[in-house]
Structure 1
Amino acid sequence: MRNIRYYVLLCILAGAFSAGAAAEEIIAIKADRIDTVTSGVIENGIIVIADGRIKAIGNDVEIPDAAEIIEVPDKTIFPGLVNPSSRIGLSSPPMGGSASTPHYRVVDELYPHQDQYKRILGAGFTTVGLLPGDKGLIRYYSGYGYMFGGGQPSAGITGQGAIVRPTGQRPEEMIVSESGFVMINFQANDRVKKVIKSALDSAKSKTSSTDPKVRPLVNALQGNVPTFVICNLPGEVLHLIKLFEPYDKMKLVLIADSETYRVTNQLLKRKIPVIFPAKIDFESNTRTRINVPRMLAEAEVKIALRPEFDNVTGHEDFLRKMAELVRSGLDREIAKKAITIHPAEMMGIDYRLGSLEVGKDANLLILSGDPLDVGTKIEKVMIEGKIVHEAP
């Protein structure tokens, strides 16, 4: 009798395992045009997706018998957009003073049930880097160091940024990396520089520490995670570069604004990439229009571009702003990389996101045309092989 029970149990378990194996979701998408970003454009191509990842891509791809086939003639498939620098959907912590709080995690602020996340998903954003700090942080630096109607954002080491997908019912469903980068809000005064240097030097002498107040800085010092630094004014960038000279393993990423082109040579020498707003600007004290992303790209500074305004409208206008930059001279291929693979590289997640390649997450957009044409519409958005947005 006991043997019969064991036999029945084994049959049930075998059935469960075989059901799990059969549950592998396979999708094949046929499209007129697949823009991989890193390996060119595939005409009349096929993408095979298995369990959320790209299994095969090309012209001559075998489609598994079990695959669900999605045909999108006259459409372009493009990687999901990556915004590496945002506070969208988050609250506003206190402002003012200096900070050394590397243990603070922005992921603890995450609240999935925000309409803003649904709307930026519809704008094509499948990955977002969330900054620890105040919502006014970016606006402050975009205003050359002055913020109307508010105080000065806290300077110093403000915590750990998170990398998320803007969809999910629970925080853990949104998280790509809960400690994706260390965040510094830099100001070139002695007090702030002392706070930053003291924290880094202390961590440098405690490389084996597991203290949550120390470990994030150890990881940053060793280059295990990138360090994002908000700093816009050219003079302050020079102070920043000098301050970080002793910490040569750190992977610095500069979040900056209009005046950055004035320190291009210094950025190149230190190999510091730049996150910049997608906008046409004016040269200081003139009405001369300048395309700073173009200037940085032509000088071979790696750039990632983010929405000019960190709100829903800014995200919804993003591709139109990108089209304007291209019309004003920004190289089209660099523009495409600046909104996909470059920000993914800066956040250290390019091994799984930012382009359409075998083995990467199937985060993609189905578009009515070229992503950098003003009239192009986003028809579907896919994250890890699942359609998470369809245009009405």
Structure 2
Amino acid sequence: MTTITPILNTPQSRFYNLNKKFRAFVSGFGGGKTWVGGSAMCARFWQFPKVNQGYFAPTYPQIRDIFFPTIEEVASQWGLRADIKYANKEVDFYEAGTSIYRGTTICRSMDKPDTIVGFKIGHALVDELDTLKKEKALQIWNKTIARLRYKIPGLTNGIDVTTTPEGFRFVYERFVKDIREKPELAQFYGLIQASTFDNAANLPDDYISSLYASYPPELIKAYLNGQFVNLTSGAVYNCFDREANSTTATIKEGERLHIGMDFNVLKMAAVVYVLRNGIPYAVDELVDVRDTPEMCNLIKAKYPDHQIDIYPDASGQNTSSKDYSKSDLSIIKKAGLSVRVGKSNPAVKDRINATNAMLLNANKERRMFVNPQKCPRFTEALEQQAYDKNGAPDKSSGIDHVIDAGTYPIAYLYPIQKPAHGRYDLRM
């Protein structure tokens, strides 16, 4: 006899029992999103055998690294065995200990919406939908609805959405705003919001405290409490306080220097840091420099007796502010300066979040300081840069060059890492 022993926390149980065609489970990190979505998927294979389902995630690595291992463990609680077909990007489900087939989940990446064609499903699980821009999320939503083609008595073709809130994006507009404006839609849509605390029993003891130490306060509302908050309005670096983040530190003799650099013809900028006990101090700046060779010459002349690491704009690997036959990075290396850079720049929001978390984390700790006398332009930029009407950092004021230079080292040295999905936390 097959044993079914699903374990769900309170918000997960509410979501599982929500009788709606379209359901959303919105929670912070570690809130059990993929786990509850997988549980609902397994239950449907018992109720509607051989009715295929779909699973859609932002990228294939997320399917491989998060969904595949999670669904194996979820299936075992539901008396099923998940047979993963990596090459086909599918998962076949069988009754545990037998060869009795219950159905297949077709997995597709949302970074290529055109791949969501050519098959039919009775239900879909769309994971982390709000990490996409609203226009693309709507495209995925419509593509998914077009796949719901089974006509079976008792079957409601529908979509489950599980996501971390990323501001007021698609899920908020579809499951909150639209329902508020058109109450008649409530018969089709249901939303459950959960926090990381609701799933604390399934997480490591230091999981929540590590989030507080790593994230700025505003992001905790979204990434721990599962709240919809505006992440793209007002000041970009809203954790910066001229007084609280101020320092009188200056460069000491022989001290290693960490210099962020942004490339712009006639507007090149660099911000100089020293690291003391793991804390970055911005202690000098160079602005409105003509081009890369001049910047390198200035740095070497101003700091002749220091080891220097340059943290540049990664796009400098492709073109030069001086000579299009050379790259900016090759010019820096030829000048004898060490370069520390990834293959590409981190996402702008990741660089902003990393900097805000250093300026002030959710534990009210400040771990980044700026000398306003030595870095007046960088200080002003941290205070003044705002978001534009499209929710991106405003570049019209011209202060973006020094702010980019000043935040490249922070994003490189102190990146925000989303919590890992290991065997211990598959209910995330």
Same-fold call, TM cutoff 0.5: no
User: Whose strand fraction is larger, Structure 1's or Structure 2's?
Assistant: 1
Structure (1 or 2) with the larger CA radius of gyration = 2
User: Whose helix fraction is larger, Structure 1's or Structure 2's?
Assistant: 2
